[in-house]
Amino acid sequence: MRMIVALSKDIAPREKEAVFSYLADNGFSVREQNVGGDVLLVASGGAGGAVSGGGIPAVSERELSLLPGVARVAQTSKPYQLAARETKGSDTIVSVNTGTGSVVQIGGARICVIAGPCAVESKEQIAETAACVRESGAVILRGGAYKPRTSPYAFQGLGMKGLEYMKAAGEAQGMPIVTEVVSPELVDGMKDLTDIFQIGARNMQNFELLKRAGSLGKPVLLKRGASATIEEWLLAAEYLLAAGSKDVMLCERGIRTFETYTRNTLDISAIPVLKGLSHLPVIVDPSHAVGIRDMVPRAALAAIAAGADGLTVEVHPKPEKALSDGPQSLYPEQFERLMRDIEALAPVVGKELLRLPRKESGEPKKNAADANWAQAFSLVTEKIAFCGESGAYAEQALDRAFGENAPRLALPSFPAVFDAVLDGSAVCGIVPVENSLTGTIHENYDLFTRYPDVAITGELKLRIVHCLIAADGASLDTIRTVRSHSQGFAQCKEFLDKHPQWRFETWNNTAAAVHSIAGDGQTPDITVAAIASEAAAKVYGLKALKSGIEKNPQNYTRFVIIARRNVSLPAAAFLRENSAGEQPNKASLVFSIKDEAGSLYPCLQILNKYGISMTKLESRPILGQPWSYMFYVDITVEESGKLETALAELKNQTENMLFLGVYRAAV
Ligand code: PEP
Ligand code: MN
């Protein structure tokens, strides 16, 4: 049994020393490790190696957790420790520099697609493949310079020359590169050329290679050995982590089974198993698993559905001419189609497909969009406001839009979010405006008319899966009271109707409802439950009695990102689409018209005249003016030039018009 002690980020040197002495005084030997951004002390032994009867080290875990500067204490009996899920409070997010000032983050709420040929064959081939996979949406370029081939007579790769070609191709596209290192002696020569080291399946247990590659502090993609168990694989990852690597990704690439139809057997179940056992991101390589081109895309989608954080896919401009793995390499068109399918699947699994900024032809590589994108995804240093607390759906939306590391400001109400944006205590905010089951969230739409200086700068859609959450010992029969936000009740009406004896209490947000039942942790009340996300249940150590209680699984909430009007923000490119340099294609406005017959008609005519399509039209009563209304309109625009003219004409036709913002529509 080992104790893992996670230290707070701001621990003082004196406090750290005190933690070390406490452990040493109790007979532990202590090793300090940095794993995925967390500083951990791994303590083994304890009271001269003695452990109490239940296998618990003879030191009080509680006492340890109360020492100043200690964030968390966990125990693990697994043979791997640094790779174990218990070791870290959250999923590891691996950061890789693109070389153009931005950072690709792998893990968490993102899906990262790596693509490229099996092997670098020539300068032209890698440059052409890089351009085409980048165009379809890959964010990292793969390719082998040193190829571990089964036959000594097969093409062995171009070696360092190939790596140089690949680096140039990656740089030309603003993409980081990943390439396999096959022996410890090659590590030093390759380290300045590659962004990520790949350890191949054949080398998964080459421990000298793992130690060497892990010691450089560069991200490593560790492939699973063809006959390796999950435990052996995690122990190989442990070698990398123990050697000092903090950015390790696991890559399932198929294992040897009795089946011979496919090249290997893709172990889909390894994905959820790893997610349970480890905090490391899981990438899936469907190409080497399946080995048959036309079957690769379906296996790729299955991997995403099973919870993979990303894919690595072989693509070749002319697979029939490829020097290695041609039969499993996708044609560029197949890859493009796969990327579109992944984009459609991503919201179903609550994730966002990671994109690089779009490259305009002829534009310099290091353009402004790159810088904005970097800020939006990894360098946001100012706070983003949301309503709720840890575990709230709005926080999940925030993670998707800005990354898990973005600083945040949790506030108790929607007006407080608008206030924070207005007074500058938050650089922007994120609020829900519409749900696919219950319609418009009027409270927020109405706030736009109260806060005319706040505008919409982006949107995103989040899939909402509600759970009925309660304390240990509770069951559907013990519940008397259910707490949630009004949206939670509305979206789960059918389920709640089956329990007419339950009382409902409305809370400001779903996470606060969960927090309220967590209480002080001493006396769990088994008569109350809350409707909220599984994430909220985890935050407060509660369990989901039932999940998926929303009335239809196609349950999405549309969030908008709000900012002060006319303020040029450091992270103006909030959402993937905007940040990718694509033009905004959606606008929202509110207007009122004369209270007379047919006065809406000319407004619609203007939209029709300019070929602008309307995705929302809704009337809301104007406060204090009975029977007069504001119209809320969302329109999609293809040519922004037309939009300006149309808006000018619309302004003349209406009594009051408030332009809420122009932004890129969420997929
Ligand atoms: C590769 O990715 O090119 C490769 C050789 O894969 P694996 O090590 O999984 O066989
Ligand atoms: Mn290959």
pLDDT tens sequence across 448-480: 989 999 999 888 889 999 999 999 899 999 999
Active site residues: 557, 559
For the chain, state the CA radius of gyration.
27
Residues 237, 169, single domain; the answer is yes
Asked whether the predicted pLDDT for residue 378 surpasses 60, the reply is no
Does 596 share its domain with 536?
no
pLDDT given for residue 363 in this prediction: 42
Strand partners, 75: 3
Region 220-238 average pLDDT: 98
φ and ψ at 570, to 5 degrees? Answer: -60, -35
pLDDT at residue 640, as a whole number: 67
The answer to whether residues 589 and 614 belong to one domain is yes
| pLDDT-derived band at 504, boundaries 50, 70, 90 | very high
The pLDDT assigned to 246 comes to 87
State yes or no: pLDDT of 370 exceeds 60: no
pLDDT of amino acid 53: 41
CA distance 362 to 276: 46
Indicate the top mutation candidate among 114, 180, 325 to test ligand 1's pocket, ranked by most ligand atoms within 8 A of CB.
180
Under 8 Å between Cβ of 63 and 24: no
149 found inside a domain: no
Token pair of 464, please? 């909402």
Pairing of strands 140-142, 556-564: unpaired
Q: Ligand 1 center to residue 507 CA distance, Å?
A: 52
Q: Read off the pLDDT of each residue in 31-60 and give the average, rounded to a whole number.
A: 68
Pocket test of ligand 1: the residue of 141, 142, 163, 223 to mutate, having most ligand atoms within 8 Å of its CB, is 223
239 and 280 co-located in one domain: no
Residue 225 pLDDT level (bands cut at 50, 70, 90): very high
Whether residue 402 is contained in a domain is answered as no
Confidence of residue 381 (pLDDT cuts 50, 70, 90): low
Same domain, 21 and 45: yes
Report pLDDT for 55. 45
Q: Does one domain contain both 313 and 331?
A: yes
Largest CA distance in the chain: 89
Is position 132 within any domain? no
Residue 380 pLDDT class (50, 70, 90 cuts): low
What pLDDT, on a 0 to 100 scale, did the predictor assign at position 101?
67
**Secondary structure E strands in 109-168:** 110-116, 140-142
pLDDT score of 577: 37
318 found inside a domain? yes
Paired strand residues for 642: none
| Last residue of one domain, picked from the residues 77, 105, 125 | 77
Q: The domain spanning residue 37 has which CATH number? A: 3.30.70.260
Q: Running DSSP on this structure, what letter comes out for residue 666?
A: P
Residue 288 CA to ligand 1 centre (angstroms): 7
Note the pLDDT tens digit of each residue in 591-629: 988 878 888 899 999 999 988 899 899 988 887 888 788
Confidence of residue 518 (pLDDT cuts 50, 70, 90): confident
SS3 98: coil
Interval 527-555 mean pLDDT: 92
602 lies in which domain range?
577-667
For the ranges 167-181, 437-451, 468-482, 518-532, the lowest mean pLDDT is seen at 518-532
> Between 360 and 29, whose confidence is greater?
29
**Which residues are registered as beta bridge partners of 401?**
none
Q: Which of 248, 268, 290 is the last residue of a domain?
A: 248
Number of domains comprising the chain: 5
Name the pLDDT band for 47 (thresholds 50, 70, 90).
low
Chain-centroid distance of CA 628 in Å reads 44
Closest protein CA for atom 10 of ligand 1:
201
SS3 446: helix
- Closest atom of ligand 1 to CA, residue 201: 8
State residue 379's pLDDT score. 46
Q: Which residues of 121-145 are buried (b: 16+ CB within 10 A; e: fewer)?
A: bebebbbbbbbbbbebbbbbbbbbb
The closest-lying atom of ligand 1 relative to the alpha carbon of residue 119 is 3
Neighbours of 396 (CB within 10 A): 22
| Reported confidence tier of residue 581, pLDDT bands at 50, 70, 90 | low
Ligand number nearest to the C-alpha of 264? 1
Residue 582 pLDDT class (50, 70, 90 cuts): low
In this structure, the residue with its CA closest to atom 1 of ligand 1 is: 118
240 and 161 within one domain: yes
Q: How far apart are CA 139 and CA 320, in angstroms?
A: 25
Tokens matching residue 556:
């999405």
Q: Do 593 and 523 belong to one domain?
A: no
Q: What is the mean pLDDT of residues 564-572?
A: 58
Helical axes 332-345 vs 123-136, angle rounded to 10°: 30
User: Residue 599 domain-assigned?
Assistant: yes
Residue 285 belongs to domain with CATH number: 3.20.20.70
> Confidence class of residue 575 from pLDDT cuts 50, 70 and 90?
very low
What percentage of residues in the chain have a pLDDT greater than 70?
91
Average pLDDT value over all residues in the chain = 88
CA–CA distance, 105 with 95 (Å, rounded to integer): 5
259 plus 341 within the same structural domain: yes
486 and 528 belong to one structural domain? yes
CB 549 within 8 A of CB 466: yes
Residue 457 lies in a domain: no
Q: Does residue 213 fall inside a structural domain? A: yes
Considering the domain architecture, whether residues 532 and 609 belong to the same structural domain is answered as: no
Q: Measure Cα distances from 107 to 53, 281, 313, 391, 517 in Å.
A: 39, 5, 17, 18, 31
pLDDT at position 49, please? Answer: 41
Place of tokens 């991503």: 346
HSE, CB side, 13 Å, CA atoms: give it for residue 95.
15
CATH of the domain at 524: 3.40.190.10
User: Which residues form ligand 1's pocket by a CB distance below 6 Å?
Assistant: 118, 144, 200-202, 223, 253, 285, 288
Q: d(Cα 116, Cα 99) in Å, to the nearest integer? A: 18
Give the distance (Å) from ligand 1 centre to CA of residue 99.
25
The predicted structure's pLDDT at residue 557:
94
Q: Tell the residue nearest (CA) to atom 5 of ligand 1.
A: 200
In this predicted model, what pLDDT tens digit does every residue of 85-144 receive, in sequence order?
988 878 999 989 877 767 888 999 889 999 999 999 999 999 999 999 999 999 999 999
For residues 225 and 202, the answer to whether their CB atoms sit within 8 Å is yes
Q: Are residues 502 and 543 in the same domain?
A: yes
- Give nearest CA residue, ligand 1 atom 9: 201
* 281 in a structural domain: yes
Query: Is this model's pTM higher than 0.95 or not?
Result: no
Secondary structure percentages of the chain, helix, strand, coil, to 5: 35, 25, 40
Q: How far is CA 481 from CA 356, 443, 469, 520, 525, in A?
A: 47, 25, 12, 18, 10
Whole-number Å distance, alpha carbon 196 to ligand 1 midpoint, is 14
Given 349, 382, 402, the domain boundary residue is: 349
Amino acid identity of residue 610, one-letter, is Y
Span 58-91, pLDDT tens digits: 567 888 888 999 988 988 888 999 999 988 878 9
